[in-house]
Structure 1
Amino acid sequence: MTSVVLDGVKKSFGSLEVIKGVDLNIGAGEFCVFVGPSGCGKSTLLRMISGLETSSAGKIVIDNKDVTDAEPSERGIAMVFQSYALYPHLTVAENIGFGLSLARRPKAEIAEKVKQTADILQLSHLLDRKPKALSGGQRQRVAIGRAIIRNPKVFLFDEPLSNLDASLRSQMRMELTELHARLGATMIYVTHDQVEAMTMADKIVVLNGGHIEQVGSPMALYNGPRTAFVAGFIGSPKMNLFDGALAKAEGCRVYGIRPEHLALSSTDGKWRGTVRHIERLGADSIIHLDVDTLGAVLVRADGDSTISVGDTAFASPLPNKEHRFS
């Protein structure tokens, strides 16, 4: 298994600095997810690791080898993109084995490795089909198979599930997590979806404006965000964040409390508000309160809550669940 180390990595396009000095150690065998809003630099950073973008400064080390100036083919990586990029005239088997065919490997070796890869990805019954006869999830598995067959040191994924519908994304998240467990390989995955990050990662790297805001396990970031940005980005629905008089009274610049850490009552509580909207999600309901002194406050309540739009309700923070950011 292979580690990846970034040491003071920077990237500029002319006078525009998009990666502003990143230091990161990704351990061998980790599933590391880069997450952040559009334009934060996560895809650029992934492309720098792959060698598709050159570094303006700093050092990139893969498997204890400095690859900062190495060609992509010399880095021992395989990349899976948002676009499947399959050859429409080739079968599934031919698409998976294309890289080995290009390298002029023996046909028997290619056939054996295609079979092994197809077994891993549950594609054995589809090897003779063309891409047009596959579903979106099956096409993505073929693209992943094309990466697996090369036996890379590191897998790089650039938003590979964003073209799939919600149910397929959920299924593929599980399949990728299981694939990582079977292969034990080092994987770096880019997404703007914090749900993907929380459900798949061993380690999450939250990026903002070209620098790292925080690195940690999913629950470490959920329970202990160090900045208001991380607090507002990790968690669904996002954390309630307040500045102004409330924050000042709490001795901070920004005060935060998650919707699931607010107790809802129809009779009394810390903050009194009016119910403006309710999102009925089945097991849960997201209550949108309009509190006079604070504005909009989100509260996660039981799905069978009988509260209605227009009702007066009270929200109270649970003990030891508040967050204060300076």
Structure 2
Amino acid sequence: MARVVLKDVRKSYGEHEVIHGIDLTIEDGEFCVFVGPSGCGKSTLLRMISGLEEVTSGSIEIDGRDVTHAEPSDRGIAMVFQSYALYPHLTVAENIGFGLSLARKPKDEIRKRVEDTARILQLEHLLDRKPKALSGGQRQRVAIGRAIIRNPDVFLFDEPLSNLDAALRSQMRIELTDLHAEFKATMIYVTHDQVEAMTMADKIVVLNGGRIEQVGSPMELYDNPASEFVAGFIGSPKMNLYDGEAAAKMGCRTYGIRPEHLKLSDSDGKWKGAVRHVERLGADTIVHLETEALGPMIARVEGSRNFAPNDTVYASPVEGREVLFR
């Protein structure tokens, strides 16, 4: 395990600065997720930690060592990429043990460590297969195995599940969380998917335009967003946000209410509106409204509800769940 410390880390391409003075500490054994929209700098920041991108200024420490200018191989890290990057002519066993073979480790040691790694990832029955005979989820497990076998201080994941379908992504989220619990290793994970961030992280770092918007646990960010950006990014569907005259009447710059914190009634409520669209998901129903006072609004209600387009409904906030940005 290792503590990762970033001090005023900056990255520029010519005169264009893309990472603006990041200060961040990731504790030993933490599962930390960098999340944000495309172009926010999360992958660039991860690549600087790995040594694949040079740091323009500032410093990076891993396990108390300054690795700002160290080679990737000297940082005690292992990285799993979005692309599996497996060697097609090698078997699963040879792919997993490739790094050890390069390091000229004894064959008996390589075989034992490959078998141990394969057991952890449930790949024992696939060790003699080539990558073309594997599913996407199996290939990603092999890529993870290649990282695990090196016993790194820090695991780095750059959107590793984005090439998988929804069912496999859900399964792999659980498997990665189980791996973290087993190894108790420091893991830094990059994604644009806030569901992955919410379900996997001990700590979430929300990035926007090369700056940190907020750092905290998933529920800290959900319950107490520090900015309108975080409020709109964390949560699905995203928080309803209103500014201008409507917010001023409520004594704030921006007023926020999450879809799941709205109650709908066909007889009375705070805001009158008309149903525009209904998404029935089985366990709950997403209702898109056009309200007279605030304009578009999204509500999430439990179970299957018989709303129809153009129905008149009334929406009211759950007491204590409104968010006021002043």
Shorter-chain TM-score tier: over 0.9
| Counterpart for residue 237 of structure 1 | 237
Match of residue 293 from structure 1: 293
Shift of 1:47: 0.2
Counterpart in 2 of 1:215?
215
Q: Distance in 1 between matches of 2:54 and 2:304?
A: 54
How far apart, CA to CA, are the structure 2 residues paired with 1:183 and 1:233?
A: 30
Number of residue pairs matched by the alignment = 326
Shift of residue 246, structure 1, vs aligned partner: 1.5
3-state SS of paired residue (1:105): coil
Deviation at 1:292, TM superposition (A): 2.0
- Give the distance between the partners of 2:28 and 2:131, measured in 1 at CA: 33
SS of equivalent residue, structure 1 residue 309: coil
2:293 and 2:17 mapped to 1: Cα distance? 40
Aligned equivalents of 1:16 and 1:254: distance in 2?
31
SS of the counterpart of 1:162?
A: coil
Distance (Å, rounded) in 1 between the aligned partners of 2:303 and 2:16? 48
1:124-148 Cα deviation digits (max 9, x unpaired): 1100010011000000000000000
TM-aligned CA deviation for residue 304 of structure 1: 2.1
> In structure 2, what residue type is equivalent to 1:145?
G
SS of the residue 1:247 aligns to: helix
Instruction: Identify the range of structure 1 (88-97 vs 242-251) with the bigger mean alpha-carbon deviation.
Output: 242-251
SS in structure 2 at match of 1:2: coil
SS state at 1:308 partner: coil
Per-residue deviation, residues 200-252 of structure 1 (Å, max 9, x unmatched): 00000000000000000000100010100000000001000000112101111
Counterpart position of 1:89:
89
Q: Which residue in the other structure is 1:100 paired with?
A: 100
> What displacement does 1:303 show?
2.4
Give unpaired runs (5+ residues) of structure 2.
none
Alignment partners' CA distance in 2, 1:66 and 1:119 = 35
* Cα distance between partner residues in 2 of 1:237 and 1:46: 28
Distance in 1 (CA, whole Å) between partners of 2:120 and 2:143 is 13
1:303 aligns to 2:293 (yes or no) = no
Where does 1:80-229 land on structure 2 (aligned, <5 Å)?
80-229=80-229
**Paired residue for 1:271?**
271
Which residue of 2 is the match for residue 315 of structure 1? 315
Letter in 2 for 1:281: L
- Whole-Å Cα distance in 2 between the matches of residues 245 and 273 of structure 1? 18
What corresponds to 2:8 in structure 1?
Answer: 8
Q: Any idea what SS the aligned residue of 1:118 has?
A: helix
What displacement does 1:258 show?
Answer: 0.1
Contact 2:206–2:213 at 8 Å: present in 1 too? yes
d(CA) in 1 for partners of 2:189, 2:200: 9
Q: Quick one: distance in 2 between partners of 1:246 and 1:3? A: 46
Corresponding letter in the other structure for 2:258: R
Unaligned runs of 5+ in 1: none
CA distance in structure 2 between the partners assigned to 1:27 and 1:249 by the alignment: 43
SS state of the match for residue 108, structure 2? helix
CA–CA distance in 1 between the matches of 2:61 and 2:251? 43
State the alpha-carbon separation in 2 of the partners of residues 304 and 165 from structure 1: 26
**SS at the partner of 1:163?**
coil
Q: CA deviation at 1:253?
A: 1.1
- Partners of 1:246 and 1:178 in 2: CA distance: 46
Opposite residue 261 of structure 1, the aligned amino acid is H
Query: For residues 255 and 310 of structure 2, what CA distance do their matches in structure 1 show?
Result: 27
Secondary structure of the residue aligned to 2:290 is strand
* Residue pair 2:281, 2:304 contacting (<8 A) in 1 also: no
Q: Where do 4+ consecutive residues of structure 1 move more than 2 Å?
A: none
Q: Distance in 2 between matches of 1:142 and 1:107?
A: 19
What one-letter code is carried by the residue in structure 2 that aligns with 1:153?
A: D
Q: Return the letter of the residue paired with 1:227.
A: S
> 1 CA distance for matches of 2:69 and 2:89?
35
Tell me the distance in 1 between the aligned counterparts of 2:232 and 2:317.
Answer: 17
Distance 1:105 1:311 in 2: 70
Q: Tell me by how many angstroms 1:167 deviates.
A: 0.4
Aligned-pair CA distance for 1:34: 0.1
1:76 to 2:73 alignment: no
